[in-house]
Amino acid sequence: MIIKKAPESMSAKERMLKTFNREKTDRVSIGYEANETVHGRLAAALGIDAADYEGVLLALGVDYRGVGAPYIGPSLFKELPGRRCDALDGFYTKWVENKDGGYWDFCDFPLEGADSETIANYPVPSPDDFDYAAIASQLARCGDFAVYIGGAGIPDIINSTGRIMGMEDTLCNLLTEDPATMHLLRRRMDMYLSVLERILAMYTGKIDFMWLGEDLGTQHAPMISLDLYRKVLKPIHKQFIDLACAYNLPVMVHSCGYSSWVYEDFIEMGVKAVDSLQPEAANMSPAYLKGKYGDRLSFRGLISTAGPLAYGSAEDTRQDCKAILDSMTLGGGYHFAPSHAIQDNTPVENIIAMYQAAHDFGRYI
């Protein structure tokens, strides 16, 4: 199978930056995330080796690439049999199979029920223990694509802490501003902020935007109160956004579920784009988002991984994508992408239909 691409008169970098500014482009900017199993099936359908991730991005027409400094420091956490251990945060995952494939799920939370001393002294990597020089070769491979640093998992305070101490302890400790948890949180966030700051200082002018994340919504309601967000999370988010703004970089923030309740605060801090955008969640429909925030934000996502893409036909998927594009491309400012990583139960022909629709219906001029 081959994606027939739309005619192009702009570089990917130019297209992406104009989209952040809500300006019209030659075609809509395009993004891609998928679970490992379904990615392999898509690659095979495209005639590409599954390990050739770049080849898949090129085939789909994805406009941006991420770079980052690999961790090269000492091992800080205990390895467990049958588990993967994250080198930076020390959380564990185990393989969970399903009828369509499987995924690595979080387990064995090392700080769940831990005492204050254990929480406060939990290991945090040093910003000195990252290979910043490795980014030079990553950038050399990016060509004319837009380049970002960060990602949906940074700082991701609720989720990243939840993966270490469990979600119940995390939410309770954030609400009560537990001193040991807040101390650990500041140490971890300072580390991530310092890593990004060193990258920007070393590669000034070569990074195009910063991608951040914080899951703030369920499907029906906020995950936390606005007061708690403003008191605990917002000051940390502002540090990351201020860093990007100091280098004149646009900021995109990922948040799953009902997240529009916090967009006014995002805008106040200088956020240019919001990501994920699950259209079935409360106050997250294309019409609502475009009508209320379309003159102040650009949007990434909205192609639901729980809608026609997963459960309909290829033609259903194509028409769903067309409807989203018809609504969201008005006036510019839309980054075409799935509302989450494409899941393993998604038919490959629907994924092909999704990206073909982006090239067929996502043209501005």
Helix pair angle (314-328, 348-361), 10° resolution = 30
Q: Which residues pair with 92 in a beta bridge?
A: 85, 107
Q: Which residues pair with 102 in a beta bridge?
A: 97
What are the residues whose beta carbons fall under 8 Å from the beta carbon of 349, sequence distance 6 or more? 45, 314
Predicted local confidence at residue 364, as pLDDT: 81
Q: What is the pLDDT of residue 47?
A: 97
pLDDT tens digits for range 41-96: 999 999 999 999 999 999 999 999 999 999 999 999 999 999 999 999 999 999 99
Q: Which domain, by its residues, includes 265?
A: 12-74+126-361
Residues 259, 221: Cα–Cα separation, whole Å: 8
Q: Judge whether 83 lies within some domain.
A: no
User: Is residue 232, in this structure, part of any structural domain at all?
Assistant: yes
Distance CA 188, CA 202 (A): 22
Residues 254-293 have pLDDT tens digits of 999 999 999 999 999 999 999 999 999 999 999 999 999 9
For the segment 92-113, the average pLDDT, to the nearest whole number, is: 95
- The rounded distance, in Å, linking the Cα atoms of 356 and 182 is 47
State the average pLDDT over residues 316-342. 96
Kindly tell me if the per-residue pLDDT of 167 is higher than 70.
yes
Residue 156 lies in a domain: yes
* 115 lies in some domain: no
Q: Within 141-271, where are the H helices?
A: 157-165, 167-176, 179-202, 226-228, 234-246, 263-269
CA distances from 216 to 228, 258, 263 (A): 11, 7, 11
SS3 for 326?
helix
3-class DSSP assignment, residue 260:
helix
φ and ψ of 270, to 5 deg: 110, 15
CA distance 113 to 65: 39
Decide if 286 contacts 260 (C-beta within 8 A): no
Q: Is residue 116 in a domain?
A: no
Q: Model confidence over 20-50: pLDDT tens digits?
A: 999 999 999 999 999 999 999 999 999 999 9
For residue 191, tell me if it sits in a domain. yes
pLDDT band at 1 (very low <50, low <70, confident <90, very high): confident
Is residue 365's pLDDT more than 60?
Answer: no
The number of folded domains in the chain is 1
Average pLDDT value over all residues in the chain: 97
Q: What CATH number does the domain containing 314 carry?
A: 3.20.20.210
Residues 244-248: contacts with CB under 8 Å, at least 24 apart: 244/209, 244/210, 244/270, 245/270, 247/200, 247/204, 247/207
List pLDDT tens digits, range 204-239: 999 999 999 999 999 999 999 999 999 999 999 999
Q: Which residues contact 16 (CB under 8 A, 6 or more apart)?
A: 29, 63, 64, 146, 208, 209, 335
Q: Are strands 101-107 and 92-98 parallel, antiparallel or unpaired?
A: antiparallel
Location of structure tokens 């380049």? 147
Tell me if 93 is assigned to some domain.
Answer: no
In the chain, the percentage of residues whose pLDDT exceeds 70 is 100
The residues facing 222 across adjacent strands are 217
Please tell me the predicted confidence (pLDDT) of residue 254. 98
CA distance to 49, 89, 348, per residue, from 355 (Å): 19, 34, 11
The pLDDT value given to residue 105: 96
Asked if 300 and 272 touch (Cβ cutoff 8 Å), the reply is: no
* % pLDDT > 90, the chain: 98
CA distance 179 to 137: 41
